[in-house]
Each structure stands twice: as C-alpha cells, then as structure tokens.
Homo-oligomer: A and B are copies of this chain.
Amino acid sequence: MRARTPVTLADVAALAGVSQQTVSRVVNNLPNVSARTRTRVTQAAAQLDYVPNRLATSLARQRTFTVGFVTNDLSLHAPSQLTAGIERAARAAGYSLIVSIVPEDSLAAVTHAVRALRERQVDGVLINASMTPADAATLRRRLPDLPSVFMDVTPDTPVPAALLDQEYGARLAARHLLDLGHTRVAFITPPGQAVVENTREHGWRQVLAAHDLTPVAAVSGDWSPHGGYLAAQTLLAGPPFTALLVANDQMAVGALRALWERGLNVPADVSVIGYDDTPESALLIPPLSTVRQDFPTLGARAFTHLLAQLAGDPPPTPVVTRPELILRSSTAPPQTPDRAAVQDALALLARHLAARG
C-alpha cells in the first residue's frame, strides 16, 4: 500500500551508472550533459518508470507551481465556468489547481480555506467569494507574502482583483428597458446583501433614479431557477409591472415560468431581462435578452494577473471587464395588456393551424 513510487533519482542514477545530480539535470533538461549520458539516463528512467516527486522538488525549490482557488457554490453557472477558465490557463502555464469550496461567503470561512491552501504552500490564491471591501482588505492583510487575486468584489476594493463590471452591465439592462418606454419595473435581486455600491441592483437603481423612477417592487432570489420562480410569484402578488430585471439567467427561467403560469405573455405583457447569458438562454421560450459575462475569459485573466504578481510586477489596477448587452426576444415596448394578450394567443393559434397546412 505504502511505497507508492519507490523509484527515485538515486535508483535511476544507480542503473545508469551516474550521479543523482546528473539524472536531475537530464530530467529537468538542463545543459552540460553529454548526449551519450543523456540517452543512457533517459533509458534508465523509462525502464524503471521513474516519476519525479514534485513534493521534494517543491520543498527544495521553495516553489510548488500550484495555485489555490477558493470559490462559493460550484453548482452555479458562474463559479463552474470560472473554474474551467482558471484550470485551463493554469494548466497551460504548468500549474496545478487546488479548488476549495466554501459553503458561505463569510470572512472566517474564506480565511480558513486560504490557510489550508497556505499550508499546502500554494504559490498564490484566487478568491471568488463575494466579500465586502472591508473584509477583502482584512483578508489581504492577513496574507502579506502570498500573491492573491480577488474576484467578485467591488472595483474600489483595495486588493488585486480581476472583475466584471457588474454595475455597468446592470445599467445596460435597466437602460434598455427604460429606453423601450417601461416605467413600472420590478427586480429579482441576488440573495443576501443589502444594496451596496457597485452591484447589479445598485446599477439598476441608479438608472431608474436618473429617470426619477423607483422599482415597483424588489424581491431577492437564491440564484436558482426555483428561487426565481418563487420571487416572481411574490412580485405577481403585488402591484403590476411591465418590466422585470432578474439578477441571473437561471432565476429568469423560473420567472418566465411564473409569468407563463399567470397567463402573462413575455414580452408583450412583461419584458424580462436576465444576466449571465447561459447556454440555454438563447433557446428559452422566448429567447432571453440578457447581459453576457464571459467567465472562462475572466478566469484566465485572473490567473494571468496572479502570474504577474508571481513574476514580481504587481499591476495595482484591478483588471475589469465590461459585460455586453445581448438583445433577444424577451423585451419589447410596454403594451396595453389585454390587446397584447389576445393578439398573441391568436397568433399562436394561427401558427399552430398553419403548421399542418
């Protein structure tokens, strides 16, 4: 059971009839080894199926070529896409990735996770957990010598970061709705946090405020389709609205459903706009207008940022990417509800009949 890789440099050296150091040079492709020796060593290594022990290498080199990624709930779209992007970039640069999932976004939980990563001597950490600027700064202060990149914090947080400009994307979405002429708009907001600066909800409110508007109602969901469904039901029990801003596409799926159940047509009766642009969004009924966020690219960018810090040139400015508005068919100008609904049902009827000529 133990004795996994009994084959060490010394074994290879013995077989090839050279010193350990020479084998090390060959394995690491260093110069100053004669061709003859090199092939002899290579053969010996192959023959013994030698696998270098990176633990020992790391200990000697004081460098592990491993980075840690701390993230919240991996079952959601964003974190899993992010993970994919980071892993890809890391692997390309010769790094391994240790992922650590924190059940909640508290400072304590993240600190704990980071400590475990430090014990494993990671060269740096990437942190995707939404933290207040104060918490992020505190955490950063606790790791003086560990390169780190934060994601999902606000742009003004004084830590190295790679971010999406969420507020900007949110403003895009809200402005689109107002441009269409909507005045009665409702929100399905992210869970937790009150309205803090630089969040999606904050962006929405800003745009509304610029038009002397306030949301008809705002209910928070838990990022899941079911959460979106419940939130939409709650909204539907309240005052009427013609436009709905949803904090992510997964919740929008639930919202679309709740609207449908109520007999409301999207976009004729209610315009809906999501956030993220998941692969299903383009194919929902109706196709969802949304704000596209490219998570894999963000992940890659964050890793590059970390690499820069490792190389010793920490770019102090946060790397922030602007999302993009994707217009599809879930948004339209507001209409008189009754006329719209009848129109629409008739159109559907016509289409059904036509389909079988």
Beyond A1-B312, A2-B63, 9 additional pairs, beta carbon < 8 A:
A55-B55, A87-B101, A91-B100, A91-B101, A97-B100, A98-B98, A263-B352, A265-B352, A280-B280
- In the assembled complex, the CB of A10 is this many whole angstroms from the nearest CB of chain B, namely 15
Which of A1, A115, A345 is the most central at the interface, judged by chain B CB atoms within 10 Å of its CB? A345
Query: Interface residues, chain A, CB within 8 Å of chain B?
Result: 1-5, 51-56, 58-59, 62-64, 66, 73-75, 80-81, 83-84, 87-88, 91, 96-101, 115-116, 118-121, 145-146, 224-226, 228-229, 250, 253-254, 256-257, 260, 262-265, 279-280, 282-285, 296, 310, 312, 337-338, 341-342, 344-346, 348-349, 351-356
- B64 contacts A87, C-beta separation under 8 Å: no
Q: Are B64 and A55 in contact (CB under 8 A)?
A: yes
Question: A75's contact among B81, B115, B118, B285, by CB below 8 Å, is which?
Answer: B81
Q: Are A283 and B265 in contact (CB under 8 A)?
A: no
The count of identical subunits is 2
A80 touches B75 (CB 8 A): yes
In the complex, are the beta carbons of B84 and A96 less than 8 A apart? no
Partner of A345, one of B5, B146, B279, B349: B349
Q: Flag if B120 contacts A4 (CB, 8 Å).
A: no
Q: Report how far A59 CA is from B62 CA in the complex, Å.
A: 14
**Selected contact of A225 from candidates B87, B262, B283, B285, CB within 8 Å:** B283
Nearest residue (CB) in B for A253 is: B280
Given A87-B74, A96-B100, A257-B284, the answer on whether A59 and B55 have CB atoms closer than 8 Å is yes
Name A4's closest neighbour in chain B (CB-CB): B145
**Is A2's CB under 8 angstroms from B62's CB?**
yes
Would you call A120 and B101 a contact (CB within 8 A)?
no
CB-defined A-B contacts under 8 Å, sample of 6: A55-B121, A74-B80, A91-B100, A250-B280, A257-B285, A341-B355
Report chain B residues within 8 Å CB of A88: 101
CB-based contact B74/A96 at 8 Å:
no
Which residues of B are found within 8 Å of A351, using beta-carbon distances?
263
Most chain B CB neighbours (cut-off 10 Å) among A55, A59, A84 = A55
Contacts of A80 in B (CB 8 A): 74-75, 80, 83
- Pair A96/B116 contact, Cβ less than 8 Å: yes
On chain B, the residues within 8 Å of A265 by CB distance are 352
List the B side residues contacting A115 at CB < 8 Å.
51
User: Contacts A62-B2, A87-B74: A344 and B355 contacting too (C-beta < 8 A)?
Assistant: no
- Cα A4 to Cα B345 with chains together (Å): 67
Which residues of the other chain, B, contact A58 by a CB distance below 8 angstroms?
55
Residues of B within 8 A of A356 (CB): 337-338, 341
